[in-house]
Structure 1
Amino acid sequence: MTQLPDFDTLKWLAEHKPEQLQKLQTTLSDEAISSSVRNQAQLRCLIFHLHQKLNRCQNAYQRCQLTMDLMGDKLSTLSMVINEPSFVKQPAGEVVQFIHKQQ
């Protein structure tokens, strides 16, 4: 697995070589997703969704805020699943039997 550089190196990359930082981010994301056995499709969808939103940002602050908001939403959902598992298992609706009238 690719080693994550220290903060100062990441900051320097962001300021001087953003395309290299983007390549590092993509590599690390791909490695993390590949190491997941059961959730690869969901994680790839999440990364795609994140990149679509990040492309609309106009500066680094917006990108950071957007990423933190997305992570906060996911952590909130995870907390709800852990603390209230019955919430996740509740049926979404009621199945009603169709009664066919014979003529």
Structure 2
Amino acid sequence: MQHLPTISPTPQLPILTKHAVARSQQRGILREHQETVFAFGDLEHEVGRGCYRLAISQRRLMNLVRNGTISAQIADRCRRLSVITDGMTIVTNYKSSLRAS
């Protein structure tokens, strides 16, 4: 009987640049919240140099809470959070002044 390798359902965690780590500390953004936006973000806007801004829409956040994927507290903290990424690395992150819809 041949054994197939098991594939972990956990997605690859993003790498954070030194700049992203410094800005996270300054802005009080937790790694868990960055990873949530990275994993479930559905709003993408190109920002140049192969990077894009990633955020989670209010509708998507409500569905994630309703399905039990994330808690209401995490959803609230991710509501205005944006990460700038190239798809594998988080370059920086910030809390936007306008809510993503």
Give the TM-score band, short-chain normalised: under 0.3
TM-score normalised to the size of structure 1?
0.26
Larger radius of gyration: 1
Bigger RCO (CA 8 Å, 6+ sep): 2
TM-score normalised to the size of structure 2?
0.26
Structure with bigger strand share is 2
